[in-house]
Amino acid sequence: MKLAGVIVLLSLYVHGVSAGLEDGKLCYILDAVLVLYGIVLTVLYFRLRMRPERGGKPGGSAGAGDGIYQDLTPRAQDTYESIQVPNKKA
């Protein structure tokens, strides 16, 4: 992991990017990239949240018998069972 960091640092130095860090234009370019990235992620998030559910009503409100909970049934009343251990007498 250290070797990869050293290689990246040397490649930045060789290509003259280290001199460009003193200039403020590089920061503006990176800010623009981050803003565009944030906008794209926000659009994708809202498209995912606003998409109607499959098999559900378009408003997103599914009835009590609809959806993934249809096949679920309540548990039995007795959750725990007692273990029957046979008595072994020697």
pLDDT 10s digits, 14-68:
566 555 556 788 889 999 999 999 999 999 999 999 887 765 555 455 555 556 7
pLDDT at position 36 is 97
Boundaries of every domain in the chain: 23-52
52 Cβ contact list (under 8 Å, min separation 6)? 58, 60
- DSSP code of residue 51: S
66 Cβ contact list (under 8 Å, min separation 6)? 55, 56, 57
Residue 41 to residue 68: CA distance in whole angstroms: 28
Residue 11 to residue 2: CA distance in whole angstroms: 14
pLDDT for 7 beyond 80: no
pTM for the whole structure: 0.38
pLDDT category of residue 87 using cuts at 50, 70 and 90 = confident
pLDDT for 81 beyond 80: no
